[in-house]
Amino acid sequence: MNSLSDKINTTLMRSLCQGWDRTFLVSIQGKLENGATVSKRQMEVLSQIFDKCSEINQKKHEEWGEVYHSRYNKEAPALANYHITQRYYCDIAEVILEGGVPAKRKFMRMYENKYSQKVLKQHAKPARLPLGEYVKPRSNTNSYNNVESYHITEYAVARDCVERFMSHGGFIVGIEEYILSAAKGSKRYRILPPGKPHYIIVEERFLKRAIR
């Protein structure tokens, strides 16, 4: 195995090769298959990736994987669902959501991030509002920014459900497993507006108990 293409294929087979590194290798592999040449700068980057994702480092990654699964695996999905919507750490979040073991250094940087710690704290908090509770939006609730309806395929139907909730409130019919904000009261509830067939999702901080 001497060709550059073989080295790329071998590196891609290692679980340590993730995120931008993997994307770059796939891109270069495509260029090689199309008969294109690799620039000097690209070769320098390739060399760095080969060193980072070497066989020795892959073994260290596998050892880290045992620690990750025993210590962090339960908390990781909560962080991944938050960071996948943010600018930073989304590459690590993708690895976690796909069931892989994230690179140790990047994961620990994400885990120790102050927003990550806030997310874990809010995620662990029990829901303040029970199933079946009749709730209404607080005065600071914005129907476009604070109410999720992306799961409803038809826009007109979605807006109708949101407007119904904004004017009449609704019943809590479920609690989402993960939160998307590091703010206090970020637990997410499924709310069914009266007379409507679809639920919408609202964070706890935008809800108040309603007098029936």
According to DSSP, residue 47 is labeled H
- Is residue 58 included in any domain, yes or no? yes
82 and 152 together in one domain = no
Residue type, 63: E
83 and 139 together in one domain = no
12 and 112 together in one domain = yes
Model pLDDT for residues 46-86, shown as the tens digit of each residue: 999 999 999 999 999 999 999 999 999 999 999 999 999 98
Residue 30 is part of which domain span?
A: 4-121
Strand 188-192 vs strand 200-203: parallel, antiparallel, or unpaired?
A: antiparallel
The model's pTM = 0.84
Strand 134-137 vs strand 207-209: parallel, antiparallel, or unpaired?
A: antiparallel
152 and 93 together in one domain = no
DSSP letter string over 172-195? Answer: EEEE-SS-S--STT--EEEEE-TT
Model pLDDT for residues 24-46, shown as the tens digit of each residue: 999 999 999 998 999 999 999 99
Q: Which two tokens stand for residue 50?
A: 């080969």
- Is residue 126 included in any domain, yes or no? no
43 and 111 together in one domain = yes
- Enumerate helices (H) and strands (E) in the chain, giving the number of each: 9, 6
44 and 100 together in one domain = yes
**End of a domain among 89, 121, 153?**
121
Low-confidence ranges of the chain (pLDDT < 70): 1-2, 212
